[in-house]
Amino acid sequence: MFCPRCGSLATPDPSGTIVCPNYKCGYVGPANLFIKDEFGNDIDISKIRTQTKPEIRDYTPIKDTDRIQGVLTKGAYTCPRCACTEVYSDVNSNLEFGETAAKMLTCKECGHGWREF
């Protein structure tokens, strides 16, 4: 819902009354629950429901005790040895004073590892 006076985002209570969060506006009253569509018809927006679907991500975290590889990225990095674009990446979080964060990269195809700062 939006405040009918100033347009700030406001949440109505169950009775349909909104209190504008903008302290300069101070509107308290009924929310405008009807809007016009492109044909001029009134639509009751209290009955409209939305649904947000999560974004599907393609990553493969790998944590082995002898070889920490990180998250599989495709197209972000290129292996300098075999030119493969599927690379495992991990950010080094053990920073000492004066150090910059290092990306630890490992090629999926040949296993070559390198760092980027």
For every one of its 117 residues, what pLDDT tens digit does the chain have, with 9 covering 90 and above? 777 777 788 887 877 788 888 888 888 887 766 666 778 787 666 666 667 776 776 666 555 545 656 888 898 889 889 989 998 888 876 666 666 777 888 888 888 888 887
> Is the entire prediction scored with pTM above 0.75?
no
Compute the C-alpha angle 64/71/117, nearest 5°.
105
Which CATH code for domain 61-116?
2.20.25.10
Domain ranges for the chain? 1-50, 61-116
Round to whole Å and give the CA distance between 47 and 80. 57
Q: Which two tokens stand for residue 42?
A: 């009134």
